Chains A and B, each alone.
Chain A
Amino acid sequence: MIAALFSRAWIWAFVAAGITFAFTAAIGQTAGGTGLLVAALTFSAFSVIVGLGQMFVITLGPGNVDLSIPATMTLAGTVSLKYMGGAAGADVALVGLLVALGIGLGAGIANFALIKLLRIPPIIATLASSFVYLSLAIWSNRGIRIKPPEALSDFAIGRSLGVPNVAWLALVIAVLAWVALNRAAYGRNLSATGQNLRAARLAGVPVDAVRAITYVLCAGLAGLTGFLLSCFSGGAALNMGTEYLLTSIAVVVIGGSSIGGGRSNVPGIWAGALFLFLIVSMLNSYGLGAGVRLLMTGVIIIAIVAAGSRPQRS
């Protein structure tokens, strides 16, 4: 049982996260262990939701990656806040959520249309479309800072049973993602497509439908995260998605999913997200300058990826 547990790659990511937590909590002078844990769960929740979307896309196989996640987040955050306009009430919040999800849906469809119709590699397609989404966000934002409805920001900041609400939400989404991957036909089809697209197609897997669903799912999750993040941080900002480009890819890789596709790992996304946040806060609590912090973050990510890989590229 224990041997079987430790043969799983994501266990090590959790172990690494635990060690980092201990180190950070030991030297942390201000918040202490509980405060750090709450912060870690909160911020990891956002990375988990976008990371799951990116994981689905990366599982599609070599060359599949969604670079438009930050732009989609920003667009969904700004437009949904604009629709809600700071008004209160459950129906307003629901409209905002639907707007954010709708933007994600639209972005996903647009991304897949570019990939499919123009036969562009996904990297270029999502890069090009992200420029357009970002322009839309700039155009709709126009420097106005709209506050989210109070009930929503209370929800995004609040806790239930001691655990941040956003972390509960990310947990539910992670469980749903696990079910979709491991217990539903969609997940089987996704893995088959990622392992060998041609073989999957010959075996009767509806490859194009799987790819379409996956890009829409990823953009939808990005839209949801943009909505949550702008409620959490009291407004949308044009650069709010920027750091999630690296984060979304890094948590997938640290979590033990194969970057070549075909193999995905849901618990690893949580482990990767916690680890990434804790590393950054550890470097913060050592009181290092911004330059050293960036440098260390980069070195650590590369070291983890290098350590977790198998030698020789196939």
Chain B
Amino acid sequence: MRPNLRILLPVLSLALLLGAVFVIQPRTMSYLGLNLLFNLAVPIALATVAQMIIIMVNDIDLSVGTFVSFVACVTATWLNDAPLIGAAILAASVLAYAGLGALIQARGLPAIVVTLGMSFVWAGLALMILPSPGGASPGWLRWLMTAKPPVAPMAIVASVLIAGLTHLLIMRSSFGTVLRGFGGNERTLARAGWSLIRLRASAYALSAVFGILSGMTLVGLSTAADANIALRYTLLSIAGVILGGGEFTGGRISPVGAVIGALTLALAGSFLSFIRLSPDWQIGAQGIILIIVLAARLLLSVRRRNRDVAA
């Protein structure tokens, strides 16, 4: 798919879903309504970007959910009580991610197994830091997440900012371009003199930074944390990347699409409760939405291929 087509489908899905929500519940068409609809989208969008960076280098991170939970626990305890130690713990976790990337590259390990193992590690650490739900959000974080900027609610402003900044970082900067090339064909980069170990380590470290931002914003919204707070983010983030037009191989991803994909998933939850779908079916409906979008994408790409053949 061409880049412009890649972004078209996510935008359409979001617009369609948003339109449906507005029709069913017109009162959401306001500053307050939009804020409520997209309130929890910011941490999901950040986790999706974290997942996207891993998928960009042809891996998959099954520990995103537990990592974000771990960060949330650190934020609600150490970062609040002793900011310096808290920041040090978070910096160490970035190093851990970088080490993981280096290990995966150096030993040729399957990322799916390593990150699955890491999900146990983060879950264990989260439990050790915060054995029972609690903690408190640092005041500045709470202020940031509940700020009411003019014109558009915080959730929208933040999403636009995240999309724009990651677009610059991944699609426009030389660092992002090299990483995408790494996902596309790592042998070429090795020939060009890059250290593959260093590249994979930096991709993982960058992903960890977004994971940390996700956990921190989540605590800013929820004001407290527990060790299981973000477990569903693993699945949501993978689904968000795919909904946003990302592909599993070849470094073909779209940061703007990923943020839109995350917004779509966050909105899907509200939509499903507006149409009074039984809670039993909430998870299943998300699976079906995912399947429908993928089917639509297939149709689009088949049509385009036929047109190319005809031309």
Q: Mark B120-143, 1 if CB is under 8 A from A, else 0.
A: 111111111001000000000000
- Cβ of B256 within 8 Å of any chain A Cβ, yes or no, is no
A260-B238 CB under 8 A given contacts A123-B60, A135-B287, A302-B118: no
Q: How far is the CA of A68 from the CA of B46 in the complex (A)?
A: 26
- Cβ of B221 within 8 Å of any chain A Cβ, yes or no, is no
| B19 shortest CB reach to chain A, Å | 24
Contacts of A313 in B (CB 8 A): 105, 107-109
A249-B285 CB under 8 A given contacts A295-B124, A298-B120, A313-B108: no
| B252 shortest CB reach to chain A, Å | 13
A128-B290 CB under 8 A given contacts A246-B120, A294-B123, A302-B114: yes
- Cβ of A39 within 8 Å of any chain B Cβ, yes or no, is no
Q: Mark A213-227, 1 if CB is under 8 A from B, else 0.
A: 000000000000000
Residue of B nearest to A247 (CB): B116
State whether B117 touches A135 (Cβ < 8 A): no
B108 contact from A119, A290, A314, Cβ within 8 A: A314
A129-B287 CB under 8 A given contacts A250-B116, A305-B113: yes
- Cβ of B294 within 8 Å of any chain A Cβ, yes or no, is yes
Residue of A nearest to B231 (CB): A242
Chain B residues touching A, range: 35 or more
- Cβ of B112 within 8 Å of any chain A Cβ, yes or no, is yes
State whether A139 touches B113 (Cβ < 8 A): no
Q: Mark A293-314, 1 if CB is under 8 A from B, else 0.
A: 1111111011001100111111
Q: How far is the CA of A124 from the CA of B286 in the complex (A)?
A: 12
Q: Mark B268-299, 1 if CB is under 8 A from A, else 0.
A: 00000000001011111111101100110010
- A21-79: which have CB < 8 Å to B? 63, 65
State whether A309 touches B125 (Cβ < 8 A): no
| B18 shortest CB reach to chain A, Å | 22
How many chain A residues have a CB neighbour from B under 8 Å? Answer: 50
State whether B283 touches A134 (Cβ < 8 A): yes
Question: Looking at chain B's contact residues, is the secondary structure mostly helix, strand, loop, or mixed?
Answer: helix
B116 contact from A119, A249, A314, Cβ within 8 A: A249
State whether B287 touches A132 (Cβ < 8 A): yes
A139 contact from B117, B235, B242, B281, Cβ within 8 A: B281
| B137 shortest CB reach to chain A, Å | 22
Q: How far is the CA of A299 from the CA of B117 in the complex (A)?
A: 7
State whether A124 touches B238 (Cβ < 8 A): yes
State whether A128 touches B113 (Cβ < 8 A): no
B107 contact from A127, A246, A301, A306, Cβ within 8 A: A306
List chain B positions with a Cβ less than 8 A from chain A: 60, 103, 105-110, 112-114, 116-128, 131, 235, 238-239, 242, 248, 278, 280-288, 290-291, 294-295, 298
